[in-house]
Copies of this chain bind each other. A is one copy, B any other.
Amino acid sequence: MLSKKTKYGLKALTYLASQKDNKPVQISEIAKHENISQKFLESILLSLRKTGFLGSKKGKGGGYYLIKDPKAVLMTDVMRILEGPIAMVPCVSLNFYEKCDDCPDENTCSVNKLMLKVRDANLEVYRNNTLADLITG
Q: How many A residues touch B, CB cutoff 8 Å?
A: 37
A2's partner among B75, B89, B102, B117 (CB-CB below 8 A) is B89
Q: How many copies does the complex hold?
A: 2
- Given contacts A1-B84, A108-B136, could you give 11 more A-B pairs where the C-beta distance is less than 8 Å? A10-B114, A14-B110, A35-B104, A108-B137, A110-B134, A111-B134, A113-B134, A113-B136, A114-B134, A117-B125, A117-B129
Q: Which 8 A-B pairs have the closest CB atoms?
A: A110-B134, A14-B110, A2-B88, A121-B121, A35-B102, A108-B136, A121-B125, A117-B125
Which A residues fall within an 8 A CB radius of B?
A: 1-2, 7, 10-11, 14, 35-36, 75, 84-85, 88-89, 102-104, 107-111, 113-115, 117-118, 121-122, 124-126, 129, 133-137
A3's closest neighbor in chain B, by CB? B88
The minimal Cβ–Cβ distance linking A127 to chain B, given in whole angstroms, is: 11
* Distance to closest chain B CB from A101 (angstroms): 9
Q: Are A2 and B134 in contact (CB under 8 A)?
A: no
Which residues of chain B have C-beta atoms less than 8 A from A121's C-beta?
A: 121-122, 124-125
Query: Which residues of B are found within 8 Å of A108, using beta-carbon distances?
Result: 136-137
Q: How far is the CA of A103 from the CA of B113 in the complex (A)?
A: 36
Task: For A75, list chain B residues within 8 Å (CB).
Answer: 114
B115 touches A136 (CB 8 A): no
